[in-house]
C-alpha cells in the first residue's frame, strides 16, 4: 500500500494494536508500526509524536467537541445539563471503528503501566476541559470541577457499556453516555 493511500492514521492505530497484542507495547517500535500500516516512519510522525499517543488519538477533537457543546448549551442550562450537551456533542465523534477497537485499546492499556499513566492524564485533561468550559459559562469553580469529574466518569461508563454491546448494533454512544450521567446525577443526590 502506498504512503499516499487515505486512512493512514486509522491504519497506524490498527497496526499498533495488532503489534501490541502480538508482541507487547514495549517490544513494538515505531518502524514496525509504520511498516505494518504500509506507511513511512515520517508519515507516522506526521500523525503522532510517539507510539503512546496512538491510543489517545482524537483527544483534541473530543475536548473541542465537549467545549463546543457546553458553550452552545442554552443559557439557562444548569451545570449538568451543559455537561450533557457537551457529552452529546462529543459522542458524535465516536463511530463503529471506536466501538470495534475499544476492547483492544483497553487490553493494551491494561497491559502497560506507561499507557495506564497516559490514560489517566487523558482523564484529567478531559475533566479540566469540561471544568474550564463551565467556568466560562459562569459556573463557580468547585461546582464546575465536580460537574467536570461527573462528565468524564459518565463518558467512560457510557463508552464502556456501548463498546461491550453488539458490534452490528446501530445504537449511538450518546444514549449510553447520557444514561450514565443520569445515573450519576441520581447517585450524587443520594449522598446527602
**Is 171 exposed, middle or buried (CB count within 10 Å of its CB: 0-12, 13-18, 19+)?**
exposed
Domain ranges across the chain: 8-53, 58-189
**Is 2 exposed, middle or buried (CB count within 10 Å of its CB: 0-12, 13-18, 19+)?**
exposed
CA triple 55-115-177, angle to 5 deg: 55
- Nearest C-alpha neighbor of 56 from the set 26, 97, 95, 13: 13
Domain 58-189 has CATH 2.60.120.560: no
Q: Cβ atoms within 10 A of the Cβ of 62, count?
A: 22
pTM: 0.85
Domain 8-53 in CATH: superfamily? Homeodomain-like (1.10.10.60)
- Residue 10: the pLDDT is 87
- The segments of the chain whose pLDDT lies below 50 read 1-4
Q: Are 73 and 81 in contact (CB under 8 A)?
A: yes
In sequence order, which ranges of the chain are alpha helices (DSSP H)?
8-23, 30-37, 41-47, 59-71, 79-91, 96-110, 113-136, 141-163, 173-189
- Say how far apart CA 119 and CA 64 lie, in whole Å: 18
What the block records as the C-alpha cell of 145 is 470541577
Provide the 3-class DSSP secondary structure of residue 106. helix
- Residue 164: the pLDDT is 87
- Residue 52: the pLDDT is 83
Amino acid at each position: 500500500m502506498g504512503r499516499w493511500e487515505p486512512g493512514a492514521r486509522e491504519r497506524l492505530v490498527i497496526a499498533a494494536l495488532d503489534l501490541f497484542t502480538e508482541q507487547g507495547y514495549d517490544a513494538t517500535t515505531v518502524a514496525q508500526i509504520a511498516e505494518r500500516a504500509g506507511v513511512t516512519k515520517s508519515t507516522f510522525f506526521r500523525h503522532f509524536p510517539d507510539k503512546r499517543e496512538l491510543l489517545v488519538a482524537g483527544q483534541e477533537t473530543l475536548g473541542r467537541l465537549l467545549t463546543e457543546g457546553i458553550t452552545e448549551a442554552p443559557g439557562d442550562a444548569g451545570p449538568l445539563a451543559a455537561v450533557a450537551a457537551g457529552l452529546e456533542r462529543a459522542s458524535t465523534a465516536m463511530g463503529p471503528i471506536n466501538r470495534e477497537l475499544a476492547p483492544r485499546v483497553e487490553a493494551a492499556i491494561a497491559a502497560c503501566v506507561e499507557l495506564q499513566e497516559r490514560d489517566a492524564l487523558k482523564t484529567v485533561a478531559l475533566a479540566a476541559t469540561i471544568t474550564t468550559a463551565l467556568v466560562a459559562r459562569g459556573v463557580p469553580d468547585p461546582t464546575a470541577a465536580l460537574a467536570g469529574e461527573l462528565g468524564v466518569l459518565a463518558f467512560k461508563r457510557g463508552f464502556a457499556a456501548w463498546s461491550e454491546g453488539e458490534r452490528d448494533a446501530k445504537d449511538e454512544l450518546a444514549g449510553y453516555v447520557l444514561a450514565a450521567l443520569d445515573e450519576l446525577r441520581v447517585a450524587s443526590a443520594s449522598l446527602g
